[in-house]
Each structure stands twice: as structure tokens, then as C-alpha cells.
């Protein structure tokens, strides 16, 4: 059973979102997502400084199985990317919630984190997918 | 879905089971990447019992197969010798690719599982006028043990009469030890053995190999291993609408006046305009090649990827592409962007090492 962290919010497309103390948000993919993808071999990250809208596909994760888009959970500006994923994409498999983060956003619009899935709702989603 | 005799063993080993041409087979047992490296660096084993073993016996076995197959079984000078061949349709398309072993009496063919029904039907149609018996051996399981340590590890668990058989086998040669058939063949570009044995004995061999530390390998790593080794996959790199000339199979055609099925069509194609070619591509930047990505020479669409992957050994995107004659640098379109690729000779990898060289000449 994949880990779902209680202190995070999620998208139904399997990104996790963490609100940091300084008001920025960090985005990665869930343990369930990395497990379903299999070994990650390539990550394409957004440009730092890029402005994004909620729902934009701004990164790509490629595994041995398939290429998947990563969607911005909220409108904002990209303020950092995890360059480590370019040389060590397997970090996404090894540490999806910590070292395997993808990018950080400075929120520019209204804070819409509340509209994302709670850990409980996301765990239900994963359970229903695993039952398929 | 159909299952091989080893299905419970796959589940017990953590196999992630998927539907492969109607068979429930393991895609991986945790990490496809680790499984790939295990075969390149030490040893791994594959359950390939879904493949179909077909024996051809009878007085006309040789002339029948000389008609049916594009490679010539007359090249098999002694029992046990094997060759790789395409089986063509009358218009020169590839019906299937297979391995054929010469036996003391007759021949043994190993064909793909996805093409089994049409192969058997075709083989029966073509047998008209020949005194042959076509016998599918569905009571046999097939276990491939592959990797630099494969021979040593297998040897350690075999019976003495099996050991002496194995010790005497040359590459691409097989033989019987009782009701087991051992052959020095495989689909990985590594040292290895394929063991055909009665279903009832399959679990015993599998369990003994597991106990000896041989890791089970799923279909995912089987695909990246064969791709690195420059070996085609039927249905992706070959099919009935493409000739051997445009499938990197010209080396398997043996033209010696025996008039095999599809030969006239192939010779006609060869004499007319230049056909497409199936070539190797390596990405110069970071990324992954995947089937059906379009291939460009400068701004002209020249073909598409037929099989692609991230090569665990080379740590680069690699693939096969079927391309028309081209001029200038090649690129592949990935998510709307052109990425530079280099055309290379095949295979990419053999015996664990990078072996390709850049193809200098444009076709």
C-alpha cells in the first residue's frame, strides 16, 4: 500500500502540494504515482521565473513505462526547480515526498489550496485505483 | 487469460502481472531497471513458456521448411544447430520471426505467442503436397537463463548428463538430455541458455534457480534487453505490411534458387526503388524515445520510431526507426519539440558493452 502523507494536499492527477511556512508551495508526485509509473528515467522541469496557471502541464516525468505530464496545482510563478532530478531521476522513486520534489511556486493569485484533495480523499482515490 | 505453469511462482516473487497477447505474464518483479542490470552484469531468468514450440517431422520436413522459411534450413549441417528466420507471406510481408533447431529427426521451431494461431494455420496450409507432421508441443515450458554468469549457475544445479550436454554446446546450438532440450540461444545479447522441459518439471528448475540466486526478470526488462541487443520484436518492428528489406532482416534471407514463399515479391521490391530501412537511433540529449514518434531529416518527415526506450546500459534514449532514404541530420519530435538523434549501427549493446558506431553514410 502506497504512503499518503497527512500534512499534504493532492491533485487527482497524483501530484502532492505542500504549503511552506513562507507561503510558497512545493510540488512533487505521490508515492502511489511513482509506484504506478515504475522506474523514473527522465524528468523535464519548468523554467525558473515562468508564470503558470492552475492546471497547466509544466513538467514531464518519463518512466520505463510511459511519459506523464505534471500539472501546476495553483496559479503562480516558478521560483525553484529540483535540478537533482536531471542527473538522478531515480530520486523520484526513492524519495517521492522529500528529495524527489519537482518545483516550488510563489502563489500569485488567491490561495486555492483548499480546493485540492485532502489526504483522506486522495487515499480513497488511490484505493479505488488499486482495486481496478 | 492463459497462464503458464509458473504463474504462482511469479505471484510469490512479487510479479506485477499484465495481459500479454492473452497470457498473464510478469511485467516486472519490483524494478525493471534493476532486472535489466542483473542480466547485463550477472544473471537472470525469464519464463517464456507462452512462446509456442512446434515440431516438424516426416520425410519432407527439410523441403517443406525450405519453402516455408526465408532462411535456409539446409545450412543446419548437424542436428542441434539453429538459425533465425523470417516466415513471409506471398507478398513479402513478415508473418513471424522464429528460431528453428535441427533435431535428429525433423526440426523444432519456436514462434511468438501473439502469432501462434495464424502461424499454425499458415504452416498447415503450406504443408499441402509435403509429407510432414506439424506437432505443437504445448506440454513444454520454456525458461531462459541469461547473463554472464548464466552457464556457471545453471551448470551448478543440473544433473551430470545435462551438464555434459551443456558443456558441449556451441552458441546457437541445442540438444536433448532426456526429455529436456537445452539450447545456447536467447533474446538479450548475453551469454545464455534456453531450457525447454516438461511443464511438470518447470517449477523444480525455477525454484532451484531462485535458490541459487538467479533473479526472475519480467517482460519490461526483456524488452529493453532485446532492444539494446538490436533484436526486433514482432508486431512492433516487423509485420505483414513490411518486407524483410525494410525490417533489418535482409541478412536472414537466403536466395539460392529454392523459391521460398515471398521470395519473388522481395526480389521485385529489391530491384525497384530503394525501400525504407530499419535503423538504430541514439538521442544526443536527455530523454526517452518511444514507438511512433515521428523522425525528421532537416524538415522532411522520413519515418517513425518502431520501438524505443531509455537504455539502462547506455543511459540514453535509444530506438529503432523505419526511415526512407534521407539527407542531413536526423531529429525526433517529442512533445512538439525536435530532439537531435544519431543514426547508428546495430546492436547498441553486446555482452554488457556499448558496441555501436555512428552510421556515417546516409542511405
pTM for the whole structure = 0.94
Nearest to B288 among A67, A86, A90 (CB): A67
- Tell me if B93 sits within 8 A of B242, measured CB to CB: yes
A57 touches chain B (CB under 8 A): no
* pLDDT tens digits, one per residue of A18-53: 999 999 999 999 999 999 999 999 999 999 999 999
Nearest to A64 among B287, B310, B335 (CB): B310
Average pLDDT of every residue of chain A: 94
C-alpha B231/C-alpha B98 separation (Å) is 12
A94-117 average pLDDT score: 91
On the question of pLDDT at A114 being above 90, the answer is no
pLDDT at B362: 56
What proportion of chain A, given as a percentage, has pLDDT over 90?
88
C-alpha B248/C-alpha B244 separation (Å) is 6
Nearest to B33 among A39, A42, A86 (CB): A39
Nearest to B243 by CA among B92, B104, B109, B112: B92
ipTM score over 0.95, yes or no: no
Report the gap between the CA of B61 and the closest CA in chain A (Å).
42
C-alpha B42/C-alpha A20 separation (Å) is 45
B28 touches chain A (CB under 8 A): yes
Nearest to A75 by CA among A102, A53, A106: A53
A73-101 average pLDDT score: 97
C-alpha B306/C-alpha B132 separation (Å) is 36
How far is the CA of B6 from the CAs of B193, B203, B216, B278, in angstroms? 18, 6, 11, 35
Average pLDDT of every residue of chain B: 96
pLDDT at B239: 97
* pLDDT tens digits, one per residue of B177-235: 999 999 999 999 999 999 999 999 999 999 999 999 999 999 999 999 999 999 999 99
| CB-CB neighbors (< 8 A) of B309 in chain A | 64
Question: Are the beta carbons of B286 and A62 separated by less than 8 Å?
Answer: no
A59-69 average pLDDT score: 95
- Of the residues A38, A39, A43, the best mutation for testing chain B's interface (the one with the most B CB atoms within 10 Å of its CB) is A39
B274-291 average pLDDT score: 94
Nearest to B303 by CA among B284, B279, B282, B283: B279
CATH of A9-112, one of 3.40.50.2000, 3.30.1490.20, 2.40.50.100, 3.40.1180.10: 2.40.50.100
Question: Are the beta carbons of B286 and A86 separated by less than 8 Å?
Answer: yes
Q: 3-state DSSP call for residue B300?
A: strand
B240-245 average pLDDT score: 96
Question: Are the beta carbons of A62 and B287 separated by less than 8 Å?
Answer: yes
pLDDT at B360: 57
Report the gap between the CA of A41 and the closest CA in chain B (Å).
7
C-alpha B227/C-alpha B218 separation (Å) is 15
On the question of pLDDT at A55 being above 90, the answer is yes
Question: Are the beta carbons of A90 and B335 separated by less than 8 Å?
Answer: no
Please report, for chain B, how many H helices and E strands are present, in that order. Answer: 9, 21
- Give me the residues paired with residue B96 across strands: B87
pLDDT at A129: 85
Nearest to B310 among A42, A60, A86 (CB): A42
B333-342 average pLDDT score: 96
Greatest CA separation found in chain A?
Answer: 40
C-alpha B57/C-alpha B105 separation (Å) is 7
Instruction: Please name the residues between 307 and 336 in chain B that touch chain A, using a CB distance below 8 Å.
Output: 309-310, 317, 335
B68-90 average pLDDT score: 98
Q: Provide the pLDDT confidence category of residue B361 given band limits of 50, 70 and 90.
A: low
Q: Provide the pLDDT confidence category of residue A132 given band limits of 50, 70 and 90.
A: low
Question: Are the beta carbons of B310 and A86 separated by less than 8 Å?
Answer: no
HSE-CB of B169 using CA atoms within 13 angstroms: 30
A131 touches chain B (CB under 8 A): no
Q: Provide the pLDDT confidence category of residue B286 given band limits of 50, 70 and 90.
A: very high
Amino acid at each position: 500500500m502506497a504512503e499518503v502523507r497527512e500534512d499534504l494536499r493532492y491533485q487527482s492527477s497524483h501530484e502532492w502540494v505542500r504549503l511552506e511556512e513562507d507561503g510558497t508551495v512545493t510540488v512533487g508526485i505521490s508515492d502511489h504515482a511513482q509506484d504506478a509509473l515504475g522506474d523514473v528515467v527522465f524528468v523535464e522541469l519548468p523554467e525558473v521565473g515562468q508564470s503558470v496557471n492552475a492546471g497547466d502541464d509544466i513538467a514531464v516525468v518519463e518512466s520505463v513505462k510511459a511519459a506523464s505530464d505534471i500539472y501546476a496545482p495553483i496559479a503562480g510563478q516558478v521560483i525553484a526547480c529540483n535540478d537533482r532530478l536531471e542527473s538522478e531521476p531515480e530520486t523520484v522513486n526513492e524519495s517521492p515526498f522529500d528529495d524527489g520534489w519537482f518545483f516550488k511556486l510563489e502563489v500569485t493569485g488567491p490561495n486555492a489550496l483548499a480546493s485540492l484533495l485532502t489526504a483522506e480523499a486522495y487515499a480513497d482515490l488511490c484505493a479505488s485505483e488499486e482495486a481496478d | 487469460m492463459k497462464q503458464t505453469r509458473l504463474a504462482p511462482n511469479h505471484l510469490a516473487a512479487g510479479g506485477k502481472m499484465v495481459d500479454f497477447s492473452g497470457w498473464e505474464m510478469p511485467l516486472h518483479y519490483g524494478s525493471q531497471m534493476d532486472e535489466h542490470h542483473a542480466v547485463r552484469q550477472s544473471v537472470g531468468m525469464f519464463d517464456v513458456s507462452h512462446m509456442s514450440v512446434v515440431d516438424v517431422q516426416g520425410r519432407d520436413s527439410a523441403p517443406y521448411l525450405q519453402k516455408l522459411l526465408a532462411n535456409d534450413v539446409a545450412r543446419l549441417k548437424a542436428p542441434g544447430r539453429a538459425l533465425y528466420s523470417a516466415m513471409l507471406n506471398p507478398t513479402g510481408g513478415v508473418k513471424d520471426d522464429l528460431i528453428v533447431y535441427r533435431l535428429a529427426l525433423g526440426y523444432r521451431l519456436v514462434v511468438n505467442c501473439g502469432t501462434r494461431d495464424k502461424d499454425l494455420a499458415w504452416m498447415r496450409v503450406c504443408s499441402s503436397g509435403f509429407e510432414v507432421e506439424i506437432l505443437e508441443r504445448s506440454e513444454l515450458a520454456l525458461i531462459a537463463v541469461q547473463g554472464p554468469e548464466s552457464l556457471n549457475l545453471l551448470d551448478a544445479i543440473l544433473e551430470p548428463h545435462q551438464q555434459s550436454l551443456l558443456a558441449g554446446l556451441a552458441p546457437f546450438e541445442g540438444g536433448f538430455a532426456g526429455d529436456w532440450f537445452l539450447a545456447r540461444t536467447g533474446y538479450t545479447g548475453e551469454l545464455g541458455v534456453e531450457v525447454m522441459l516438461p511443464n511438470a518439471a518447470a517449477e523444480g528448475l525455477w525454484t532451484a534457480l531462485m535458490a541459487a540466486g538467479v533473479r526472475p526478470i519480467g517482460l519490461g526488462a526483456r524488452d529493453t534487453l532485446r532492444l539494446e541487443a538490436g533484436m526486433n520484436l514482432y508486431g512492433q518492428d516487423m509485420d505483414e505490411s513490411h518486407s524483410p528489406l525494410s525490417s533489418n532482416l535482409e541478412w536472414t534471407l537466403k536466395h539460392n534458387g529454392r523459391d521460398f514463399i515471398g521470395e519473388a515479391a522481395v526480389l521485385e521490391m529489391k530491384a525497384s526503388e530503394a525501400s525504407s530501412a530499419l535503423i538504430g537511433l541514439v538521442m544526443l540529449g536527455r530523454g526517452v524515445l518511444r514507438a511512433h514518434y515521428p523522425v525528421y531529416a532537416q524538415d522532411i518527415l522520413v519515418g517513425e520510431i518502431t520501438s524505443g526506450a531509455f537504455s539502462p546500459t547506455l543511459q540514453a534514449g535509444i530506438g529503432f526507426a523505419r526511415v526512407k532514404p534521407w539527407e542531413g541530420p536526423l531529429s525526433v519530435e517529442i512533445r512538439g519539440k525536435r530532439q537531435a538523434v544519431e543514426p547508428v549501427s546495430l546492436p547498441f549493446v553486446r555482452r554488457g558493452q556499448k558496441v555501436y558506431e555512428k552510421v556515417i553514410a546516409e542511405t
